[in-house]
Amino acid sequence: MMHRLTLTEIARALAAKQFSAEELTRNLLARIQQLDPQLNSFISLTEDLAVQQAKAADARRAAGENGALLGIPIAHKDLFCTQGIRTSCASKMLDTFIAPYDATVVSQLAAAGTVTLGKTNMDEFAMGSASESSYYGAVKNPWNLAHVPGGSSGGSAAAVAARLLPAATGSDTGGSIRQPAALTNLTGIKPTYGRVSRWGMIAFASSLDQGGPLARNAEDCALLLQAMAGFDPKDSTSVDEPVPDYSAGLNAGLQGLRIGLPREYFGPGLDPRIAELTQNVVKELEKLGAVVKDISLPTLQHGIAAYYVIAPAEASSNLSRFDGARFGHRCNDPQNLEDMYKRSRAEGFGSEVQRRILVGAYALSAGYYDAYYLQAQKIRRLIKNDFMTAFENVDVILGPTTPNTAWKIGENSDDPVAAYLEDVYTITANLAGLPGLSMPAGFVDGLPVGVQLLAPYFQESRLLNVAHRYQQVSDWHQQSPAGF
């Protein structure tokens, strides 16, 4: 039952020579082959590479090495470039693109000894909250195959939740790690903007995107984030800030920890059953010594409007490089240059990506830049100021990760705004650049519910500490979906 073990438990078992990295890798690859057709969580399996990396990890252990991630199997969201392997961003546009280099996140995790089992499915170019907009088909939630796993890191979340592997990488532009973590009963952390290198991570919205881990619990996330974080001179947005030992502070006491509950989180639109589960988490943290304070984030209500101007604007700029000329999909027999641009982009991009490019190009156009983009950036500053004011009085902010549980596949297909509204609690952390974590908090109608924690800049250790202490007195994170 190797697949039942958490990342931390696997690390201990490998160190104790209970099994080898190669045995574990072959076991999980067989499990993926057997079960993933139900989930569609992988785009590419990298079996040969995985076995090769596992053998190398075993050799390093035999030579006396004992790193925490040495021989640990993981998968990468398919927007992290992986040398010699298709990196598709779940788009027809990049269906045949073989990355010529490794993203910094990939190379750092490989150096730590991880084994790459494959590349996970996602919303096309990370644009979506359901993992339905993939060129390779929708990802299904292992808790109920008729429902979405969240997005855009839905493939990573579904694979980890279904025990196909212990952990995976994701990216978070407006909640794309935290929201699928909540909807699939996982722990996921979005670090502070600039904490994890974006080099080699195909961009959606450059000022919002941030890579991070998805795993079963906070302890596992701490080990992964340790290897992913750090300054990267190749990334101009990377921050040269020392990386603490994330595992060292996991067991610190919560006595006197000030938790802020924003009243705006608990208004109309939130499922009352999720509100109740959120309050249950608060009560447990109070028993551990935390102090709860009511706070206000008055500009929260404007977050979605600002985000859905800024993110598409940056997307329209970033995706202009995919024109059929240099790489990516090119249409057949173009009549001229303009025809090649138009048809390559129309054929290569799906409807959600085209929608966001159009919205973004409109917001940046000469007549509307001041009316939309500039106003959205001003709101972004106000949102950041709200958080800074709140953090003068509290240490962490707590609330629901999502207003509802996972919806049915196809339910919001004709109403993109309904899907956008599911990000109401997560996007403000990206607009402000703050670290955020989602952790399991219970179930409603058999579907998982997550609670979100936010902290000041570079206080990932605090988030992991609070989540770990909660997970020591709760067992939600240990529940697994039937059939997996």
Active site residues: 77, 152, 176
Q: Is the Cβ–Cβ distance between 32 and 74 less than 8 Å?
A: no
Tokens of 308: 């859905």
Q: Is the Cβ–Cβ distance between 400 and 270 less than 8 Å?
A: yes
Residue 20 burial by Cβ neighbours in a 10 Å radius (0-12, 13-18, 19+): middle
What is the longest distance spanned by two Cα atoms in the chain?
70
User: Strands across the sheet with 73-77, in order?
Assistant: 42-45, 115-120, 73-77, 167-171, 211-215, 187-190, 436-444, 447-454, 396-400, 258-262, 291-295
Token look-up 């990573």 returns 156
**d(Cα 391, Cα 276) in Å, to the nearest integer?**
24
**d(Cα 411, Cα 415) in Å, to the nearest integer?**
8
**d(Cα 254, Cα 463) in Å, to the nearest integer?**
11
**d(Cα 164, Cα 129) in Å, to the nearest integer?**
22
Short-list 139, 136, 157, CA closest to 148: 139
